[in-house]
Amino acid sequence: MSRDFLHHRAIWKDKIAIVTGAGRGIGLQTALMLSRLGVTIAAVGRQPLPLTTLVERIQNEGGQAISIPCDLQNVSDIQNMVTLVYTTFGRIDILINNAGIDIPQPALDVSERNWTTIIDTNLKGMFFCAQHVGRYMVSQGGGTIVNMASELSYVGAPGYVAYSISKAGVAQMTRSLAAEWAPFHIRVNALAP
């Protein structure tokens, strides 16, 4: 192992992370990477099977993980999920706020149902995950939140109006939370792949 990897592993070892949207894509890869650094993972998503597969993979690699199916459009589900992680591990050090959905459609065809699904998952769900985790981070003296924005937070693209609006909201939410929670030693950042 490289010296850099061992150094990073020492920094992250024994931390507790919630990773939303952990069943596939960026969430899956992030959960695996953090686990390899010694972080205990609470893998969160809508579909139980991919989460179970991820947890088994992490455990087979010698890591620690649990899976928590959760509908991030439902605030009470979010509250229950965050409470379960905190009561299980006694702290939450990291939130990877990754879960998101896209339903590409021309602006003239966006239905209210699709609009609500996108905004409730990508923006409302992300905010309430941050809020509920943030309460624990304030009480424990700090933590790290990483929100998954998008390049479409900053540029327009045909067929992605609802998604772009949700991700622009994520970018602004990140700025606002970072400013508000800095005195509590909570770092809030966004990635825009």
Catalytic residues: 163
Cα gap 98→124, rounded to integer Å: 13
Asked if 43 and 60 count as a contact pair (C-beta separation under 8 A), the reply is: no
Cα gap 58→44, rounded to integer Å: 14
Q: Where in the chain does DSSP place strands (E)?
A: 16-20, 40-45, 65-69, 94-97, 143-148, 186-191
Backbone phi, psi, residue 143, to 5°: 165, -175
Asked if 35 and 58 count as a contact pair (C-beta separation under 8 A), the reply is: yes
